[in-house]
Amino acid sequence: MLYSHHSNWLYGWLRRRLGCPHNAADLLHDVYVRVLVSGRTPTSEQARPHLMQIAKGLVVDRHRRQQIEQAYLEALAARHHEYAPSPEERSIALNALLRICSMLDGLPPKVRETFLLSRFEGLTYTDIAAREGISVATVRKYMLKALMACFVALEGEGPLSTNANPGMPAC
């Protein structure tokens, strides 16, 4: 009943938002899969807000994935042409980047900031402690937590879902 009452409305919203009927259909499917997997069916009054919340999250995830993929492709294009990773290697690397991005989003803000300052700005633990107003021991604790999360993200079970459908044309 949830699907039959709301799928046309949600598909229309997704199609307007994404500008592509194929991507809208994929995300519509993903919304209902999420509802089924959660085991939580909203009441009729909460159906549209619930479906919209899930759909918005999936649209954001899709946009983030496209940004990461574009940045990765640009980085590959800037590399020496003698090294051209295979499509399989590109897919593996992109999935690893997506897992790391997801892991970073799941970290507490202070832990994430500490990790980013260390790994992407090259600050020492002492510099991070001074900048953030925390002790070096706290920086070490935050870095351990972030690195463990990174390890789990990269060594976790199964590949990250990409929501890609190779049989569908690109929009």
Decide if 138 contacts 128 (C-beta within 8 A).
no
pLDDT tens per residue, range 16-70: 999 999 999 999 999 999 898 888 888 888 999 999 999 998 898 888 888 888 8
- Write down the pLDDT at residue 15: 94
At 164 the pLDDT is 40
Residues 10 and 64 in one domain: yes
Asked whether 76 and 85 are in contact (CB, 8 A), the reply is yes
Give the pLDDT band of residue 82 (cuts 50, 70, 90).
low
The number of folded domains in the chain is 2
- Residue 48 sits in the same domain as residue 98: no
Task: Give the number of C-alpha atoms closer than 13 A to the C-alpha of residue 36, restricted to the C-beta side.
Answer: 8
> Do 16 and 65 fall within a single domain?
yes
Mean pLDDT rounded to a whole number for the chain: 84
Residue at 108 is within a domain: yes
Tell me the CATH number at 151: 1.10.10.10
pLDDT of 52 reads 93
C-alpha distances out from residue 9 to 16, 33, 47, 54, Å: 11, 17, 12, 14
- Is 158's pLDDT higher than 60? no
* pLDDT interval class at 168 (50, 70, 90): very low
- My answer on whether 66 and 94 are in the same domain is no
Q: What pLDDT digit, counting tens, does each position of 132-149 carry?
A: 999 999 999 999 999 998
Structure-token pair, residue 86: 């295979």
Query: Is 159's pLDDT higher than 50?
Result: no
What is the reported pTM?
0.57
Q: Domain end: 27, 46, 78, which one?
A: 78
Q: Which residues contact 139 (CB under 8 A, 6 or more apart)?
A: 114, 118, 125, 128, 129, 132
What pLDDT shows up at residue 49? 93
